[in-house]
Structure 1
Amino acid sequence: MFKQQKVSVAVRQVLLASGLLVTVPVMAQDNSAAEASKDKEEKAFETIVVTGSVPGRTQIESAIAVTTVDAEMIKDFQPSSESEVFRMIPGIQVSGTAGPGGNSNIAVRGLPVATGGSPFVQIQEDGLPTVLFGDMNFGNNDYWTRFDSSVDRVEGVRGGTAGTFSSQSPGAIINYISNYGEVEGGLLRLTTGLGYDEKKLDFRQGGALSDNVNYHLGGYVKQGKGPLDAGFNVSESAQIKANLTKYFGDANYVRFLVKVADTQEPNYTGAPALADYDGHSFSNLRPYPGFDGRSQSNYSIHNQEFMIVNRSGDLERVEMSGITTEALALGNELHYEFSNNLVLDNKMRWTDMSGGFTSPFLNVVSTSSVIGSSLNGATVGSIRYANGPLAGTLYDQDYLNNNTNVHTSMRDVGSFVNDLALSKEYELGDQLVTARAGYFYMNQNIASDWHTNRTFSELSGNNPAMLELFDTSGNQLTANGIAGFNNNWGSCCARDYDLAYTDTAPYLALDLDNDLFTLDASVRRDTVDASGWALSGGSEFSTLVSGVAIPTIIANGSQENLDYSVSYSSWTVGGLYKLNEDTSFFTRASKGGRFNADRQIASGKINADGSLNQAGQTAAVDFVHQYELGVKRRGDVLDGYYSLELTLLKGDFKQSTYELSATLCGGAGGCVIDAEYKSQGAEILGTLRLGDFSLVGNATYSDAEKKSAGSSSWVRADGIPDLIYTLSSNYHINDQWITGLNVTGQTTAIDGAGNEYPSNYTLGANLKYSPTDNLQFGLQVYNLTDEFDIRGSGGVADASVSPTVISGGPVIGRTVNLSVTLSY
């Protein structure tokens, strides 16, 4: 992998939580430019859909819920993480507080994430998955993809064909589509944080090498401490993507693609807060004194590296590097149209990829509850600062952080994927029938080892120090805050595994089209073969560190050897009625499956011969049922133009999966979560342009419920607000100045314990100045009023005091950045 000096430039933590914004690009104020802009918007529904559908059909003609977000829209919004890009797609529900490294819980259409990651949403690059499974432990699929200047647009397909045109994606496909150099030119963009340390350089260049060869090269380099000042560089990232396309005639082509990435980004694990609490709901949320989650985190110069006991049983020092990835991907794409209406499409990618998750988790407990408690066979008598300016003095604060320093090495997340499809058109009178048959193959490696240290540190947002604990006789019980190696969650979670999953899936799609309506049906048959081994923790022993005996667990306990295969089918049936060229209605029913991969291991589901036992067979595949009814409409209003996409939804699924969280399991050691979920609601995207003013609205309404195993009653699903919404407006002042205002927010949501968090919203603003056609200066402000808004719910830390101490994931506070873009 390549490693560069990572030039600075700022990631825009600016418009962090307004990710849903789909800002309409405003071009110029004069009438001709306004007309050009209107033409561009009118053609939005004419974009050819290339994700999760029969090729060659426009958005308004497709009987699916699909949204296209182009690079200009994303640039205007300035998302600071991949989850912020996803919020620009209706139906995708993320809190947007995990940080630019990833690790977001990505829900879709009110179907919540029972444990973590994105179990029902697949992220693709140029039509192929970046990883096969979206919820790999410590390897969620938002780690491995970065929006940069190489991307032309992002397509999001929800429901229906997402489960039959791709594997492991019954909820949605989010496809990053590259710029292939059809238009000559490029850009350089420098972005810097104002008042915080972060710099980013974006670049791209593309065009024609000859009459039948196009190329494109793009990427970014980034460095900084971030808007939640870590005291050291937590962002050090670079990515380059390139492609070369050779055309044969008007339609046929072969394309070669390459990506090289080396990224390091922070994962924010929350902050304490104060709230008024009535036993059921929180109100009047405000920052905790000394730890304001709008501008601070528990990253610290006093914890920027720490000791682990590695998979060989040796002491090793690791950096607090957040989420890291290294990737080399080589791809090939062939499109060939034969003379008899037979079309061949083949996409292939080989990826060598690895990464890591190293983060300071947060859990707020009272200091008095630790004093007098039992630790490592002794009674805690006192606590002192281990390092920092107060090193050696007694710790007398009311609360501390007793959560883990976790280091997970994703040694191998490499893959090989190929998707081959043949399609043929038949004319039956006035009807056009398209038949498409394909075969998908993907081998996904998942090799990882976990190191979850039991750790104590100061509760502070200003470079918190580590804490040493002593027994009643003054004997030291910890080593630089570490009270245990690999034992924070018990012997279950000192894991080491090397797994491989091979997914083969033939699929078939039939599509009938005439001037008034379309009908389609598709089916997919996935077979997943699992192999490899997994080790859990063995017996506890002591590791001597500076004369202190630290309890240690390593992965030398029971071993599982996987050797099983699971097959299942997914299907969808849908249709669209064309009322006229500006209005269409569609309906769809579908059943999509997804396979539970590494979350099956170390949970009592694997027999000694490598097969699945009854519990494993029951939990192997989760099925999602969805029903959709939608309308797509565009037209003129007053002297302007509008577009509208509205989809009514109903869905359900069952899930049985292994969970690590002590909060959800009621104690350390992990547990199996069995539950049913159902949701109904609507998603909407609307745009309006009146002269030089534009407005875009994006909202998802969900009535989501769950029923736990053994229960007969349905309750409100946690983590899913009833309504998530965004409004974004832009006004073209003249041919040089553009200004904009946006608001994004949500209604109330509950945590796993049923506590309700209040509704809230944040405001954002932007200003752009173009002294010439190819030079632009931009100023973006996120959270204009510096609102304290917790979107990622946490939990109660101490309800015995007033105000109550809680924890959660606040959105970034007022953040300002400046950019300058040279285009040519």
Structure 2
Amino acid sequence: MSHSNLNKSKISLAIAATLGLSMPAIAQDQAEENNKKNDSFETIVVTGSPGGRTQIESAVAVTSVDAEMIKDFQPSSEAEVFRMIPGIQVAGTSGPGGNSNIAVRGLPVATGGSPFVQIQEDGLPTVLFGDIQFGNNDYWTRFDASVDRVEGVRGGTAGTFTSQAPGAIINYISNYGEIEGGFVKLTTGLGYDENRVDFRYGGPAGNTVNFHLGGYMKSGKGPLDAGYNVSESFQLKGNLTKFLADDVSYIRFLFKVADTQEPNYTGAPALASYSGNKIDNVKPFPGFDGRSQSNYSIHNQEFLIVSRQGDLERVKMSGITTQALSLGNELHFEFADGIVLDNKLRWTDMSGGFTAPFLNATPTSGVIGSEVNGATVAEIRYANGPQAGDVYNKEFLNNNTNVRTNIRDIGSFVNDLTLSKEFDFAGDIFTVRAGYFFMNQDIAMDWHTNRTFSELSGDDPAMLDLFDDAGNQLTANGIAGFNDNWGSCCARDYDLSYTNTAPYVSLDYDTELMTLDASIRRETVDASGWTYAGGASFMTDIDGISIPTMIGNGSSEKLNYSVSYDSWTVGGLYKLNENNSLFARTSRGGRFNGDRQTVSGKIEADGSLNQVGQTAAVDFVNQSEIGIKHRGDVLGGYYTFELTLLQGDFKQSTFELSATRCPGGAGGCVIDAKYESTGAEVLGSLRVGDFSLVGNATFTDAQKQAAGSTDWVRADGIPDLIYTVSSSYDVTEQVRVGLNVTGQSDSIDGAGNEYPASMTFGGHIAYSPTENLEFTIQGYNLTDEFDLRGNGGLVQSSSSQTVISGAPAIGRTMKASVSVKF
């Protein structure tokens, strides 16, 4: 909703309240009318459900978050936007580049990415699978000025109205230029180097044509000062809508151009107390405060890799990079006989990279005396930086990889066609909808995971070189091995293609008092392409130092298989009255285990899946839910309230590439487990005069049963409670202030260690001297909380102190902006 419409409604509410002293009936009618205009329950749901219904009339758990709410909340990463949607459980601390683990409704992320959550732009997936290795779906979408709102549908129809999303769909819906106007906004960091320009403009381009353009540009070192520009991003999105002669049918053309570079924060060490598997009193590690520092460094802003061709190549430590060009088309056509055709298509040319300094704090004493490259380490020295050549004598160092993943191609073509027809039976409406979904997803990458040693510091850490007792240098600028940090599994080179076809049918019956619906989807995924794991080790000479090297020229797989499965849901809603509805739903949704099937022993020599691969190919999620949606008037304003009770379970068998979750710390393993969860989602809003409040909470009891075990234990990485509350108040016509909080209860890591509950506060103050000009100051984590938001890892425990690692939220961060509306 536009700012001007919001102001008009607020003025109307104030007038109604005043007139209420003498004319209460008129005031009440006016308030109710304005409440209805601003009520989120009146938003038409367009994601993962039959179209044409408002939220309060839809038998699904759905939330719409508009651009104004997101702007006031000031998320620090793309994934933190999702914390505003109940049911979505994500830490949001991985940074603006992405690579978050996005869970939903207590269904944990067994390895990485978003296995049960699909991110869409304008109703179509950005990538087919949410957990592509080094290609998670939160890399490829950016919230900017082109977005009108973000809509989240959880459970049920998410598994039958699109593919690979039995848990949830998160849909970025563009502004289509229905209302003329736009803005330019300039934002700068206060006390840190980051600048951003947001812009948009749209409106009618004639009697039957609307258009919209929007995007952003961003540059800087970021709030966790990297010493060099880690943010260099640009995105432009546009659309043109032509309405046809009936003024209802339309054809729309869309495009996106993006070239982004943003950091992925890989964690920081911290100090804590540790007793009985409980971690408490978490505070910054001396010399490395994860609230304001990161592992990015001017001494590691570029490094050597050995390319897939076996050549030395120097690459930038550029975080997560994306390059995308997409062209799309939508057609909505209503025939004279009542048949409605909807078709959406998008072609995307997309590539990128993942280049980051992974962090693993380890005692220096554990490296001294260990064997590296066939020799015993006797001494460690600084390899570069102001102390180059000096002996390194700090208690801890970082021995994790510098990783470079070259995403050569992650392009796609997707088309979703539906035909629907309504039948009128004495005022009751029966709707039949049939569709066909097609998507081809390419995934071509080569991985480079160097064995690396560096200083444990948040202030431009230096690289470290290792020496034996004879003074022989064992590493080259901190590199002990090229492409071999996780073994032969992960010196990987592959070019894969997955084609997903899915016919689907939905039946919908709508009466004055209730709706009933059922839908089913038949998925078929065809896999093709090839993979190569690491081959025999050879030596690469770097200034006279021989470094073991591995490239993807070893054992190979040729994929040639097809998997089919069904997803279904049945649900209904009872309309108690215009302000209250009850709904219930049960569903079984599947998701295909894509590139994580490869290099895991699941594929036969002829390209087919063996018995283990067939069992692991599809993960099914069973869900049941019941909910209430309610709204009402209060104090001259209005409120909305939603409560959904839910239960779900799934079984997963997937490949984990790193030693992080593998038993015994071995790189590359298959993880098998069952999961189940019960819980509740709550969403509420309040608007009284110039005050507004919106909040959500997700309660879950998530349990896990490992393969071969009969015991159910608490699932790691899932807090029992996660919540977000955001408020805003118009102090005067020119001044607006707001406060928000996001937090969660305690959670555990894979070893059963419990991490404390936490919360962070944010706020903003805006001043508008004129209707078209606004100055804003925003604050994130105002109390500078060391907010770890979940599990990390235990580095070393002792009676005096415990060293842990994790990914804390960014500390106190202030921004200033000025925007001009026109």
Calculate the TM-score normalised by the size of structure 1. 0.96
Give the Å deviation of 1:38. 5.0
Name the count of aligned residue pairs: 802
Q: Distance in 2 between matches of 1:224 and 1:87?
A: 25
Q: Is the 8 A contact 2:717 2:749 kept in 1?
A: yes
Sort the Cα spacing of 1:101 and 1:95 in 2 relative to 1 into closer, same or farther, 3 A: same
CA distance in 2, matches of 1:219, 1:80: 18
SS at 1:793 equivalent: coil
SS in 2 for 1:242: strand
Encode CA deviations 1:436-484: one digit per residue, 9 max, x unaligned.
0000000000000000000000000000000010011100000000000
Note closer, same or farther for the CA distance 1:195–1:371 as it changes in structure 2 (3 Å cut). same
* Letter aligned with residue 349 of structure 1: R
The aligned residue for residue 27 of structure 2 is none
Distance 1:276 1:194 in 2: 34
How far does the alpha carbon of each residue in 1:670-693 deviate from its partner, in whole angstroms, 9 at most, with x for none? 100000000000011111223322
Contact 1:27–1:33, Cα closer than 8 Å, also in 2: no
Q: Is the 8 A contact 1:421 1:439 kept in 2?
A: yes
Aligned partner of 1:44 in structure 2 is 40
Q: Does 1:469 align with 2:478?
A: no
Indicate the residue corresponding to 1:405 in structure 2. Answer: 402
* Correspondence for 1:515: 512
Q: Which residue of 1 aligns with 2:22?
A: none
Tell which deviates more after alignment, 812-821 or 658-667.
658-667
**Offset from partner CA, 1:97-126 (integer Å, 9 cap, x none):** 000000000000010100000000000011
Match of 1:361 among 346, 353, 358: 358
2:807 partner SS: strand
* Alignment equivalent of 1:261, drawn from 229, 238, 258: 258
1:500 aligns with 2:497: yes
2-side partners of 1:767 and 1:366: how far apart? 45
What's the CA shift for 1:742? Answer: 1.8
1:183 aligns with 2:179: yes
Q: Distance in 1 between matches of 2:361 and 2:768?
A: 48
Matched position secondary structure for 1:191: strand
Other-structure match for 1:8: none
Counterpart for residue 374 of structure 2? 377
Q: Which residue of 2 aligns with 1:13?
A: none
2:592 partner amino acid: F
Tell me how far apart the structure 2 counterparts of residues 562 and 233 of structure 1 sit (CA, whole Å): 40
Matched residues in 2 for 1:285 and 1:113: separation?
25
Which of 111, 116, 119 aligns to 2:115? It is: 119
* Alpha-carbon distance change, 24 to 124 in structure 1, aligned in 2, over 3 angstroms: farther
Partner of 1:207: 203
Q: Tell me what 1:733 maps to.
A: 731
1:219 aligns with 2:199: no
Q: Distance in 1 between matches of 2:188 and 2:400?
A: 33
Counterpart for residue 745 of structure 1: 743
Q: 2:797 aligns with which of 799, 805, 820?
A: 799
Alignment of 1:123-138 (within 5 A): 123-138=119-134
Partner of 2:589: 592
Shift of 1:557: 0.4
Please tell me whether the aligned partners of residues 156 and 587 of structure 2 are also in contact (alpha carbons under 8 angstroms). yes
2:98 corresponds to which residue? 102
Give 2:312's aligned amino acid. Answer: L
- Helix, strand or coil: the match of 1:73? helix
**Equivalent residue number for residue 771 of structure 1:** 769
Give the structure 2 partner of residue 9 of structure 1: none
CA separation in 2, counterparts of 1:99 and 1:40? 38
1:306 CA drift (Å): 0.2
Report if aligned partners of 2:76, 2:92 keep a CA contact under 8 Å in 1: no
- RMSD of the alignment, in Å? 1.5
Matches of 1:775 and 1:79 in 2, distance apart? 23
Give deviations 1:123-154, integer Å, cap 9, x for gaps.
00111000000000000000000011111111
Confirm or deny that 1:32 pairs with 2:12.
Answer: yes
Query: What is the rounded CA distance, in whole Å, between the counterparts of 1:301 and 1:52 in structure 2?
Result: 45
d(CA) in 2 for partners of 1:613, 1:158: 33
Alpha-carbon separation, structure 1, partners of 2:297 and 2:791: 23
Q: Is the 8 A contact 1:28 1:732 kept in 2?
A: no
Q: How does 1:208-607 map to 2 (within 5 A)?
A: 208-248=204-244, 249-607=246-604
Partners of 1:337 and 1:31 in 2: CA distance: 39
Q: Verify: 1:756 aligned to 2:754, yes or no.
A: yes
Q: Choose which of 166, 171, 174 in structure 1 pairs with 2:167.
A: 171
Question: How far has the Cα of 1:533 moved from its partner?
Answer: 0.2
SS in 2 for 1:791: coil
Q: State the shift of 1:566 in Å.
A: 0.1
Contact 1:24 1:695 in 2 (8 A): no
The CA distance in 2 between the partners of 1:700 and 1:109, in whole Å, is 8
Could you tell me whether the CA contact under 8 Å between 2:756 and 2:790 is conserved in 1?
no
In the TM superposition, residue 219 of structure 1 has moved relative to its aligned partner by 0.4
AA of the residue aligned to 2:43 = T
Is the CA contact 1:97–1:792 (under 8 Å) kept in the aligned structure 2? no
Residue from 691, 694, 704 that aligns with 2:692:
694
Rounded to whole Å, the distance in 1 between the matches of 2:286 and 2:279 is 18
Taking structure 1 as reference, are residues 28 and 739 closer, same or farther at Cα in structure 2, changes over 3 Å only?
A: farther
2: CA distance, partners of 1:663 / 1:443: 31
SS in 2 for 1:162: helix
Give the deviation of 1:727 after TM superposition.
Answer: 2.1
Contact 1:191/1:819 (8 A) holds in 2: yes
- Answer yes or no: is the 8 Å Cα contact 2:738–2:764 preserved in 1: yes
Task: Please report how far the alpha carbon of residue 429 of structure 1 lies from its aligned counterpart in structure 2 after TM superposition.
Answer: 2.5
Question: Which residue type is aligned with residue 814 of structure 1?
Answer: R
- Greater Cα offset, 659-668 or 343-352: 659-668
Q: Does 1:155 align with 2:135?
A: no
Find the aligned partners of 2:533 and 2:178 in 1 and give their Cα distance: 52
Match of 1:78 in 2: 74
**Deviation of the 1:26 alpha carbon:** 6.7
Equivalent-residue separation in structure 2 for 1:270 and 1:581 (angstroms): 49
* Deviation at residue 47 of structure 1 after TM alignment: 1.0
CA deviations 1:2-60 (Å, max 9, x no partner) are xxxxxxxxxxxxxxxxxxxxx99974897426578953664321111111111111111
- 1:694, CA displacement in angstroms? 2.2
Tell me, yes or no, if the aligned pair for 1:29 and 1:735 is still in contact at 8 Å: no
Which structure would you say has the larger RCO, counting Cα contacts within 8 Å and 6 or more residues apart?
1
SS at match of 2:789: strand
Aligned partner of residue 348 in structure 1, secondary structure: strand
> Structure 2 length normalisation: TM-score?
0.96
Aligned to 2:81, what secondary structure does the other structure show?
A: helix
Q: Distance in 1 between matches of 2:629 and 2:751?
A: 39
Amino acid across the alignment from 1:53: S
- Supply the AA of the counterpart residue of 1:348: L
- AA at the equivalent of 1:776: E
Q: Give the Cα separation in 2 of the matches to 1:343 and 1:730.
A: 41
Q: SS at 1:316's partner residue?
A: strand
Aligned-pair distance for 1:717?
0.3
Percent of paired sites with the same residue:
72
